[in-house]
C-alpha cells in the first residue's frame, strides 16, 4: 500500500536529505516501516534546517511540497485564503496517488486534509496531537477540526486520553520516541537515582510562548531567593530563545541557567539521566513526549493541569495551572528541601511510562490499521532511528 501523510509541519530539504522537527521525524520513520512507499504532503523549505530538526532515516519517504501559509495576523489570514485553492489542488493530486491517507491535526493543512481525504480513500487514519478536550482560548478552526473528525472523517482518529461520549472511531492512543533498548537505560537510571546538592530542573522541547518557559525561569529565581539551590537546563530551539536568555539575565540567574540549543536524542537522554525534575507547564498538551520520557527515567514531572496531561500526572507527578509562578516556586522549594518525599512518585511515574516504547507504538499502529482497514501490513523489524 502507498501511504500519503498530510501534515502542517514545516519540512526542510538540505544536501539531498529531508528534515523535520525531531520528535515528529522519528515518529514518521515508524509509519515508513509499515508501508513500502510514503509521501508527505507538507510545506517544504529548501534550506538548512534548525538545530531541533533531524533527518528522516527511512529511504522510502518522499515529499509533496505544499504552499506554506498560516499565522494569526490579518495579513497571514489573507495569504492563507489566497493560497488555499492551490493547496487543495495539490492535496487532491497527492491523494489520487495514495492507497491510504494519514491526516495529522490540528493545523490548517490538517483541516483541509480531514475534509478531502474521505472523498479519495476508504483507508483513512487521523492523529489529533493536541488536547482533545476543549480548552480555554481554542480558536474556531481548532474546534472545527474536532467536529470534522467526529462527524465526517471515515476512519480511526487517535487521541490522547479516554473521553466519554465520543463516537466509536475516536480511539485512545499513546506515543513514544524511546526504543526498548533506551527504555532499559531509563529503568537503570530510575532505579539508581540519588539526591545531589542541587535540584536540576530540565525543559526539553520547542522554545515557544505557549510553553511558558519564562514562568519556569521566574519560579527558579524566586526559589533561589528562598535558599533553594535550583539550576535550569533548557534544551531546544525556537523563536523565544533570545528573549528567554535576556529574561534569565534580568532575573539575575544566568549563571544557573544553561541553554543548549537543539541537540540530538542521545544528548537529550544524557540530560534525563542527570536531571531531577522536568518542567512543562504549557497552555495545552496532548500526550507530551518529553514528559513521558522524563517519567520513564524517574524524574519528577511538573506539568500543566490541562487535558490528558493532568491524567498522566495523577499520583505520578505535580500538576499546576499554567503560569502559576507561585505554585511552581513552591514545588521547586519543596523538591530542594524534601527530596525523599518524592521517591514513591518517581517510581510510580517510571513504572507507568516504561510501558510505552517505539516498538510497542509501531505494533499498536499496525494492529489499529489492520483492524479498521481489514488488511495485513508487513511486520517489519524496527530499523535504527537516526540520532542526527
Per residue in 7-33, pLDDT tens? Answer: 999 999 999 999 999 889 999 999 999
Segments of the chain assigned to CATH 3.40.50.2000: 2-176+357-373, 180-353
Note the pLDDT of residue 387: 35
Compute the mean pLDDT over every residue in the chain, rounded to the nearest whole number.
91
Rg, C-alpha atoms of the chain: 21
Determine the Cα–Cα distance for residues 369 and 122; give it in Å rounded to an integer: 12
**Would the pLDDT of 301 be above 70?**
yes
Q: Kindly tell me if the per-residue pLDDT of 123 is higher than 70.
A: yes
Whole-Å CA distances, 99 to 37, 38, 276, 280: 10, 10, 46, 38
CA–CA distance, 137 with 166 (Å, rounded to integer):
22
* Superfamily of chain region 180-353: Glycogen Phosphorylase B; (3.40.50.2000)
pLDDT attached to residue 73: 63
pLDDT digits (tens, 9 = 90+) for 373-388: 999 887 654 454 333 3
Could you tell me the pTM of the whole model?
A: 0.81
Residue among 368, 21, 379 nearest 173 (CA): 368
- CATH classification of 2-176+357-373, choosing from 1.10.8.60, 3.40.50.2300, 2.40.128.110, 3.40.50.2000? 3.40.50.2000
Work out the angle at residue 364's Cα, subtended by the Cα atoms of residues 29 and 292, and round it to the nearest 5 degrees. Answer: 75
- Run of H or E residues at 130: none
Residue 198 near residue 227, CB atoms below 8 Å: no
The grid coordinates listed for 197 are 546538592
- Residue 305: pLDDT over 60: yes
- How many CA atoms, within 13 angstroms, populate the side-chain half-sphere of residue 257? 25
DSSP H or E stretch at residue 313:
helix 307-313
Cis bond before residue 275 (omega within 30° of 0): no
pLDDT band at residue 39 under the 50/70/90 scheme: very high
Task: For residues 156 and 354, give the distance between their C-alpha atoms in angstroms, rounded to a whole number.
Answer: 26
Amino acid at each position: 500500500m502507498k501511504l500519503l501523510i498530510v501534515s502542517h509541519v514545516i519540512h526542510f530539504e538540505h544536501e539531498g536529505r529531508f528534515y523535520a522537527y525531531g520528535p515528529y521525524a522519528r515518529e514518521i520513520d515508524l509509519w515508513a516501516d509499515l508501508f513500502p512507499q510514503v509521501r508527505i504532503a507538507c510545506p517544504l523549505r529548501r534550506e538548512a534546517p534548525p538545530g531541533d530538526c533531524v533527518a528522516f532515516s527511512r529511504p522510502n519517504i518522499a515529499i509533496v511540497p505544499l504552499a506554506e501559509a498560516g499565522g494569526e495576523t490579518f495579513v497571514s489570514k489573507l495569504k492563507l485564503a489566497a493560497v488555499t485553492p492551490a493547496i487543495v489542488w495539490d492535496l487532491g493530486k497527492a491523494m489520487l496517488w495514495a492507497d491510504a491517507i494519514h491526516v495529522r491535526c490540528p493545523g490548517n493543512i490538517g483541516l483541509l486534509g480531514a475534509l478531502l481525504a474521505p472523498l479519495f480513500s476508504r483507508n483513512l487514519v487521523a492523529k489529533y496531537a493536541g488536547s482533545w478536550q476543549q480548552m480555554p482560548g481554542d480558536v474556531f478552526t481548532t474546534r472545527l477540526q474536532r467536529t470534522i473528525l467526529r462527524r465526517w472523517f471515515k476512519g480511526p482518529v487517535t487521541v490522547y486520553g479516554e473521553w466519554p461520549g465520543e463516537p466509536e472511531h475516536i480511539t485512545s492512543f499513546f506515543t513514544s520516541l524511546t526504543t526498548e533498548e533506551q527504555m532499559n537505560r531509563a529503568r537503570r537510571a530510575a532505579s539508581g537515582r540519588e539526591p545531589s546538592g542541587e535540584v536540576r530542573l530540565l525543559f526539553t522541547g520547542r522554545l515557544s510562548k505557549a510553553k511558558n518557559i519564562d514562568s519556569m525561569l521566574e519560579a527558579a529565581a524566586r526559589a533561589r531567593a528562598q535558599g533553594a539551590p535550583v539550576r535550569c537546563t533548557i534544551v531546544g530551539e525556537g523563536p523565544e530563545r533570545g528573549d528567554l536568555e535576556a529574561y534569565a539575565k534580568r532575573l539575575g540567574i544566568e549563571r544557573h541557567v544553561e541553554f543548549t540549543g537543539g541537540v540530538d536524542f542521545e544528548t537529550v537522554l544524557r540530560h534525563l539521566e542527570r536531571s531531577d525534575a522536568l518542567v512543562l507547564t504549557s497552555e495545552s498538551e496532548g500526550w507530551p513526549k518529553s514528559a513521558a520520557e522524563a517519567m520513564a527515567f524517574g524524574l519528577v514531572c511538573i506539568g500543566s493541569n490541562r487535558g490528558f496531561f493532568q491524567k498522566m500526572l495523577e499520583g505520578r507527578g505535580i500538576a499546576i495551572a499554567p503560569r502559576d509562578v507561585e505554585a511552581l516556586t513552591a514545588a521547586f522549594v519543596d523538591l530542594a528541601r524534601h527530596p525523599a518525599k518524592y521517591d514513591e512518585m518517581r517510581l510510580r511515574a517510571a513504572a507507568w511510562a516504561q510501558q510505552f516504547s517505539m516498538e510497542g507504538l509501531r505494533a499498536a499502529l499496525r494492529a489499529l490499521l489492520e483492524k479498521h482497514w481489514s488488511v495485513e501490513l508487513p511486520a517489519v523489524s524496527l530499523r535504527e532511528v537516526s540520532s542526527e
